[in-house]
Structure 1
Amino acid sequence: MTHKLKLLTILSLSLSILSQGLPTSAKEADSKNKPETAGKWLKGEYHAHTFQSDDAQQSLKSVLDNAFNKYGMDWMAVSDHLRTSSRDDEGNTIPGGSIPLSQGIIDYQAPKIKQLQDAGNYKNKIIFTGFEWDMPTYEHVGVGILTDKLGTAEGLKVSNQFEYLFTNRDEKMFDPADVAVWNAKDSRAFSTREDARTALSWLEKNYAKTSYAILNHPSRKRVYTIADFRDFNNIAPDVAFGFEGMPGNQMEPDRGGLNLSTPENRTYGGSDYMLAKLGGAWDALLGEGRRFWNFSNSDSHFEISENRLYSSGYWPGEYSKNYTWVQGADMQAVLDGMRSGKSFSVFGDLINALDFSAEKGNRKAEMGENLQVKNKDMLKLTIRFKSSNKNNNGDPVKVDHVDLISGDVTGKITPGTDAYSKSTNDTTKVVKRFTAKDWKMDSQGFYVINYSVKASRDQYFRLRGTNLGVTVEGETLNGEPLMDTKTDIADNETRFTEINKRNYKDLWFYSNPIFVSVSDEKPDKDNH
């Protein structure tokens, strides 16, 4: 059967709606199978693999079963490699040879999700099919493209079009009629650093509010620079709005798979150096006032290989989670929540709820927002968090301390200047370290911290917390996470056990920031 006939068949089944992230066909969904529409915190991630990635060893169903049924996720964006796929979602060899992943989503992944949901699986869950793109000359990028053409050929074909334009797939692997249309509008660009920027510009131009391009495990190969991050965010501020500061693959001997010899390439408390370094790259971006957020993911390929020789990553939701405030019932609402910055990320269920706000009078800002105040105003910062009794490893969970971190905001840096390549924010510091003596439990079971600070300049505030003490040999020094060491044990089963112990004894969470703008003028009522 030709791809065109397959596409028509799929359209007749309304699979395009599912492939764009709705829980099932809009006409077929009943109220029992729709996620609630009220704003609430949802748990999820955008980076997990199936057999349709040639380096993965797990079926689509096993990923969704574990994410939703075992580990309590609310939404999932599957993210197989945007390369050729030789297998279907169950690991069977595709007849006729490898096909582009985007075609594999159309032929296998989207139909399987619909089949599973039609059978009553994953009620009130949001499922989306994104992909992991090999950005030309750089690293991996988690990409998702939603469209307003649900139920149409155009809606299904957008990822196919992206793969044609921005990868080195052979033109013969695509429908000639589609290729003619695409070539009439755009040129292929898949080789240079400028091609990478062209792709982001294409997403911003065509899908500014309906796509994301989040930079995965940014320090793994040390190919991203702070200047690149600034370029990407300048080119596509609505699309390139974050990075995977808490990478997956935590079951690898080198935690997160970051294994080069330089300190900047390693993980610290499981987190990428760009996130974990106080006053480092993330703080440098926040110091410009950029709305650029942190995310965590499983990067799940397999936990332990079938031959019991290697370990890679946990199941989605097993070890890491993103908590995002979502106002709606589909993937567009999730994406809006991700872009808003009202989110936090956590390892090992160290916390399972977090409210963080800054107030002045009747004005209030939460994570991702900006609070406008007058110079010398006293601000009230409120931190409320909860923890589970036990995490998925069966361990009791307890937060040792929470750091309130702040840095100055001085505005966007001009491209081409020396400062544009500076990857530090020298004003960043831990303003206050809170321990159990500083918080009390309220009637809702939240631990509550109140702290007042005088506004004197534009700045941001963010949170970091851990189960570790301020100085723990091999783990922390004066409150800062130390470089993770490789768990290098010859016996495979012993190594797997020790890697898991290593990870669960070293837990962290990070919030996204609140910005504060100081003016001598009377502040506006709007806190955005």
Structure 2
Amino acid sequence: MLPRFKAITVLALSMSILAQGLPVAAKELEDKDQKNVHGRWMKGEYHAHTFQSDDAQQSLESVLDHAFTYGMDWIAISDHLRTSARDDEGNAIAGGPIPLSQGIIQYQAPKIKQLQSEGKYRNKIIFSGFEWDMPTYEHVGIGIVGDKSGSEKSLKAVNQFEYLFTNRDEKMFDPRDVAAWEKKDQRAYTTAQDARTALAWLEKNYKKSSYAIMNHPSRKKVYTISDFRDFNNIAPNVAFGFEGMPGNQMEPDRGGLNLDTPENRTYGGSDYMLAKVGGSWDALLGEGRHFWNFSNSDSHFEISDNRLYSSGYWPGQYAKNYTWVNGTTMQSVLDGMRSGKSFSVYGDLIDALDFRIQGGGKESEMGQELIVKKGQKAEITIRFKSPKKNNNGDPVRVDHVDLIAGDVTGKAVQGTPAYNKATNDTTKVVKRFTSKDWKTDRNGYNVITFTWKADKNQYFRLRGTNLGVNVPGETSNGEPLMDPKTDIADNETRFAEINKRNYQDLWFYSNPIFVTVKPEKK
């Protein structure tokens, strides 16, 4: 047994699931927010795999058990949109592989319904999404909620998507469905243009009830910034984010990003597109795009059954998204994800964040825009709190929080040099806050305030870490350094060192708040 890797008994799982309610930290933030809007902070993710992905080693029920034991409120399963040779429990499917969409219809969706009808996972939101091999690009986490999560209509939509936008054999689908689909759309699963066609299809047919989020975007060096601009232009309501904090954190190459180029590695566990101040994400935010960051486990297995390999943590064990959700359905979760009112964290560095900007008698939060007069004073308030210990049993402490800002200059025009520019030269750390700069209130929140005079259009975002600003091998002047490969021959020693590496290097990232300045009246 590895140090700190805890065995979870069925009894403990059952007690934890029954005992779960609204966390104290989330409840306190809910009370503050409910002055203006109903809702609550919920923890979840959209990228975890089961036996129905042929490279995974875990059942649907075990994924759900662990996710909710680790405090998640919702989860979207995301098996590969390929052929599936096994059911949700790992049994071989009679007759051979079937399309994943059919596997969801036959096994996954009914099992979720059965488990919840038996009283398991009460008040939890469980959804069947999928991970699509985007033609010529990378993996994309997709969900089509339809009229109701798990409904016949939404499941049929996944079946239709798989027919239209993968190379599955036509014989694997109902001929009556194929005939109806062919009347409206042509199959498109080969070229970069086909990838765009698929996103346009989602935007046209499921504008409010689907998502397409780019997973581990820098892993294979296949995207350019112009691709991301295209995707967001084509499907602004669907392609609204990326997995800036990838899963597979238990791999020797952290996050599974193992190319030699610096742009295709992780920094503090995060994708270079997120970790680089003034990089690709800042370039998109500098256009005023509503394009958000997310974290996930990408869970396939933690340690392989033969104890030779490691992959990712269980959902909620190491990575979490905190999203403000108004409702109790997957559509409510999707609305919250799309709103941008969310933050993402590794290792439970924080479990509550309240980030807002006030000015001119108005107030805006993550994902929103505050409009103020030129020269008007505005105040940023940051409130955060950490648990006493994380899931590794370690005490948790934030060393510093960075307030990062960049100018917003409007959308780049396709065909111009700006459309291919992957940097925002105006982005910088405006202020670095340490414990000397915050006060702890009676509810245990660390409170920071920062005032400035608004004179131009900008966005503001946060990041925080448990590390000091100059830690050998980890940070330099506060910036995360490239994660080295943990290359140890002995398997058990390597697993333990990878886990130690990850929990020593924790970060959180918020989504931005935009500030738009109105010219002074003459």
Range into which the TM-score falls when normalised by the shorter chain: over 0.9
2:326–2:332 CA contact under 8 A, matched in 1: yes
1:208-357 correspondence to structure 2 within 5 Å: 208-357=207-356
Counterpart of 2:113, as a letter, is: K
Instruction: Verify: 1:360 aligned to 2:359, yes or no.
Output: yes
Per-residue CA deviation, residues 362-413 of structure 1 (Å, 9 max, x unaligned), is 2000000000001111100000000000000000000000000000000000
Per-residue CA deviation, residues 423-468 of structure 1 (Å, 9 max, x unaligned), is 0000000000000000011122110000001101000000000000
Counterpart of 2:336, as a letter, is: G
Counterpart of 2:173, as a letter, is: F
Q: 1:147 deviation in Å?
A: 1.1
Q: 1:145 deviation in Å?
A: 0.3
Per-residue CA deviation, residues 3-40 of structure 1 (Å, 9 max, x unaligned), is xxxxxxxxxxxxxxxxxxxxxxxxxxxxx999x99500
Q: Measure the CA separation in 2 of the matches of 1:33 and 1:96.
A: 43
- 2:424 aligns to what? 425
- 1:43 aligns to what? 43
- 2:62 aligns to what? 62
Q: Unpaired runs of 5+ in structure 1?
A: 1-31, 523-528
Q: Measure the CA separation in 1 of the matches of 2:405 and 2:282.
A: 9
Q: Measure the CA separation in 2 of the matches of 1:377 and 1:472.
A: 39
Counterpart of 1:209, as a letter, is: K
SS in 2 for 1:300: coil
Q: Measure the CA separation in 2 of the matches of 1:241 and 1:486.
A: 31
2:101–2:155 CA contact under 8 A, matched in 1: no
Q: 1:184 deviation in Å?
A: 0.5
The 1:487/1:283 distance shift into structure 2, 3 A limit, reads same
Counterpart of 1:123, as a letter, is: R
Instruction: Verify: 1:394 aligned to 2:393, yes or no.
Output: yes
Q: Measure the CA separation in 2 of the matches of 1:458 and 1:275.
A: 21
Q: 1:148 deviation in Å?
A: 2.2
Q: Measure the CA separation in 2 of the matches of 1:43 and 1:71.
A: 10
Q: Measure the CA separation in 1 of the matches of 2:423 and 2:469.
A: 23
1:131-142 correspondence to structure 2 within 5 Å: 131-142=130-141
Q: Measure the CA separation in 2 of the matches of 1:102 and 1:323.
A: 28
1:14-93 correspondence to structure 2 within 5 Å: 38-68=38-68, 70-93=69-92
2:360–2:376 CA contact under 8 A, matched in 1: no
More displaced 10-residue stretch of structure 1: 356-365 or 294-303: 356-365
Runs of 4 or more above 4 Å deviation: 149-153
Counterpart of 2:464, as a letter, is: G
Instruction: Verify: 1:410 aligned to 2:409, yes or no.
Output: yes
1:41–1:326 CA contact under 8 A, matched in 2: yes
- 2:188 aligns to what? 189
- 1:14 aligns to what? none
1:470–1:480 CA contact under 8 A, matched in 2: yes
Counterpart of 1:391, as a letter, is: N
Per-residue CA deviation, residues 292-351 of structure 1 (Å, 9 max, x unaligned), is 000000000000000000000000000000000000110000000000000000000000
The 1:150/1:253 distance shift into structure 2, 3 A limit, reads closer
Q: 1:358 deviation in Å?
A: 0.3
Q: Measure the CA separation in 2 of the matches of 1:333 and 1:471.
A: 41
Q: Give the share of equivalent positions with the same residue, in percent.
A: 77
2:382–2:448 CA contact under 8 A, matched in 1: yes
SS in 1 for 2:116: helix
Q: Unpaired runs of 5+ in structure 2?
A: 1-19, 28-36
The 1:348/1:153 distance shift into structure 2, 3 A limit, reads closer
2:128–2:150 CA contact under 8 A, matched in 1: no
- 2:7 aligns to what? none
Q: 1:361 deviation in Å?
A: 3.6
The 1:50/1:409 distance shift into structure 2, 3 A limit, reads same
The 1:257/1:448 distance shift into structure 2, 3 A limit, reads same
1:33–1:123 CA contact under 8 A, matched in 2: no
Per-residue CA deviation, residues 88-136 of structure 1 (Å, 9 max, x unaligned), is 0000000011000000000000011111111111011000000000000
Q: Measure the CA separation in 2 of the matches of 1:79 and 1:494.
A: 30
1:161–1:182 CA contact under 8 A, matched in 2: yes
Per the normalisation by structure 2, the TM-score is 0.92
Counterpart of 1:339, as a letter, is: R
1:365-380 correspondence to structure 2 within 5 Å: 365-380=364-379
SS in 2 for 1:90: coil
The 1:155/1:485 distance shift into structure 2, 3 A limit, reads closer
1:142–1:213 CA contact under 8 A, matched in 2: yes
Per-residue CA deviation, residues 215-256 of structure 1 (Å, 9 max, x unaligned), is 000000010110000000000000000000000000000000
The 1:231/1:483 distance shift into structure 2, 3 A limit, reads same
- 2:32 aligns to what? none
- 1:511 aligns to what? 510
Q: Measure the CA separation in 1 of the matches of 2:519 and 2:161.
A: 48
The 1:397/1:266 distance shift into structure 2, 3 A limit, reads same
SS in 2 for 1:399: coil
The 1:257/1:520 distance shift into structure 2, 3 A limit, reads same
SS in 2 for 1:471: coil
Q: Measure the CA separation in 2 of the matches of 1:62 and 1:218.
A: 28
The 1:345/1:150 distance shift into structure 2, 3 A limit, reads closer
Q: Measure the CA separation in 2 of the matches of 1:250 and 1:146.
A: 28
SS in 1 for 2:121: coil
- 1:13 aligns to what? none
